[in-house]
């Protein structure tokens, strides 16, 4: 187990930092937020064609780079620091991840090359009005009709759902409950009966949408894996996505700390830099502790994802719960250190605060993930007792 980046991985981080400094600056972020799509298509094209990031974890046989989750974690940390407005997370960390673990070879060959090339934006349409990210939250139905399936339901809080070319829709067999009878369907954005509308959300750096499925008919070949038993695969894809989000949150938390320290050295009050006050020093020290602990959790989980370690479910929840808490804490403390100017348009700290708050609920809240960890420990200990 090696927790330092290789020369190539560090080169990826440096190139990402340089690219994002130019293309995800404060001015570029604000311009993207004000646009209809919520991101710059020109920057997205450069991300795909020049940087090759859209193929980072996609196998070479599908036109990708075939790199691992450690590289993805390193890249997402930089994206989180720069508040990148793009469909990267929805396309790679949700859409491509689901296809990688749930699709058959024919489906992977059909969809993954377009994603790797940056020609297709993808996302996962899972959550509904309840906002739940578990199987119990899936109420949309998939009714078999001859050689087709008919999908009905309303999905909400779908990341980049308004702009996606491909939506992976979670639906269940009518009458099924829990984790039974859940299927994943690849649905094109132009499907008859599919309607999409962007939602007004607190965090405008990551757009979400409501997707309505009104009798959407798809062929049997759209069912990923060919069977209505996809929950285990979907659960693993969500664990991988949680690790990716945790890495992004580490980058955001680190940037909040950096902004706080910079402001504390510049702001003078009562004839002294406010950074010389003990209360401010304590806040910054506490933020540093949380950032470094969050980074360790995200890196360890990233290694587990690359190694397909058996502790992946617990480590994913550990990373997501801790990094979400750390990001929001650092954003809130940075805002306190900045004072009233923190919520003015000129400063980025309020943008991080909003993304941190929104990210807490994305893929499940910290408290829900702590419950997952407790359940995993309880199950693991129960299995050990049975074996003894």
Q: Which domains does the chain have, with CATH numbers?
A: 7-119 (1.10.540.10), 123-228 (2.40.110.10), 232-387 (1.20.140.10)
Query: What's the pLDDT at 1?
Result: 52
Model confidence over 297-332: pLDDT tens digits?
999 999 999 999 989 999 999 999 999 999 999 999
For the chain (length 388 residues), average pLDDT per consecutive 10?
80 96 96 95 96 96 95 97 97 97 97 97 96 94 96 97 97 96 97 96 94 97 96 97 98 97 88 86 96 97 94 96 98 93 85 96 94 84 56
Helical H segments across the chain, by residue range: 7-23, 26-34, 41-46, 69-81, 88, 97-102, 105-116, 231-266, 278-307, 312-338, 349-361, 366-387
CB 96 within 8 A of CB 66: no
Q: Strands 208-219, 148-159: parallel, antiparallel or unpaired by DSSP?
A: antiparallel
- Using DSSP, how many helices (H) and how many strands (E) does the chain show? 12, 9
Query: What's the pLDDT at 388?
Result: 52
Read off the tokens for 186: 């690849």
Phi-psi region of 240 (alpha: psi -120 to 50; beta: other; left: phi over 0): alpha
* Strand (E) or helix (H) holding 28: helix 26-34
pTM (2 d.p.): 0.94
**What b-and-e string marks burial along 360-380, b requiring 16 or more CB atoms within 10 Å of the CB?**
bebbbbbebbbebbeebeeee
Read off the tokens for 366: 């910290």
DSSP letter, residue 314: H
CB atoms closer than 10 angstroms to residue 332: 18
CB atoms closer than 10 angstroms to residue 211: 26
Q: Strands 122-125, 166-172: parallel, antiparallel or unpaired by DSSP?
A: parallel
Model confidence over 119-162: pLDDT tens digits?
999 999 999 999 999 999 999 999 999 999 999 999 999 999 99
CB 276 within 8 A of CB 284: no
Select from 60, 6, 52, 56 the least CA-distant residue to 244: 56
CB 206 within 8 A of CB 351: no
Query: What's the pLDDT at 138?
Result: 97
């Amino acid at each position: 187990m090696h927790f330092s980046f290789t020369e190539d991985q560090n080169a990826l981080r440096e190139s990402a930092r340089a690219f994002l400094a130019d293309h995800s600056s404060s001015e570029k972020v604000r311009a993207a937020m004000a646009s209809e799509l919520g991101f710059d298509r020109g920057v997205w094209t450069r991300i795909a064609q020049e940087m090759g990031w859209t193929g980072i974890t996609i196998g070479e046989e599908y036109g990708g780079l075939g790199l691992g989750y450690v590289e993805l974690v390193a890249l997402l940390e930089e994206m989180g620091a720069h508040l990148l407005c793009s469909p990267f997370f929805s396309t790679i960390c949700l859409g491509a991840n689901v296809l990688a673990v749930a699709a058959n070879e024919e489906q992977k060959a059909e969809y993954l090359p377009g994603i790797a090339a940056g020609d297709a934006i993808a996302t996962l349409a899972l959550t509904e009005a309840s906002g739940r990210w578990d199987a119990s939250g899936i109420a949309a139905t998939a009714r078999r009709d001859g050689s087709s399936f008919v999908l009905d339901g309303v999905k909400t809080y779908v990341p980049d759902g308004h702009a996606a070319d491909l939506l992976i829709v979670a639906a269940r067999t009518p009458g099924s409950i829990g984790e039974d009878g859940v299927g994943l369907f690849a649905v094109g954005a132009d499907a008859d009966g599919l309607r999409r509308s962007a939602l007004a959300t607190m965090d405008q750096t990551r757009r979400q949408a409501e997707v309505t499925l009104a009798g959407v008919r798809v062929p049997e070949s759209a069912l990923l894996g060919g069977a209505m038993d996809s929950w285990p695969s979907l659960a693993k894809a969500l664990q991988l996505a949680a690790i990716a989000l945790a890495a992004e949150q580490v980058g955001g938390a680190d940037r909040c700390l950096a902004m706080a320290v910079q402001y504390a050295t510049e702001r003078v009050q009562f004839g002294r830099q406010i950074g010389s006050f003990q209360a401010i020093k304590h806040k910054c020290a506490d933020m540093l502790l949380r950032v470094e602990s969050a980074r360790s959790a995200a890196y360890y989980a990233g290694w587990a994802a690359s190694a397909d370690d058996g502790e992946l479910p617990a480590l994913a929840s550990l990373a997501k719960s801790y990094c979400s808490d750390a990001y929001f804490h650092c954003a809130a403390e940075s805002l306190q250190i900045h004072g009233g100017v923190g919520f003015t348009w000129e400063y980025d700290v309020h943008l991080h605060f909003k993304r941190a708050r929104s990210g807490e609920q994305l893929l499940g809240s910290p408290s829900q993930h702590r419950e997952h960890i407790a359940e995993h420990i309880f199950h693991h200990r129960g299995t050990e007792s049975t074996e003894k």
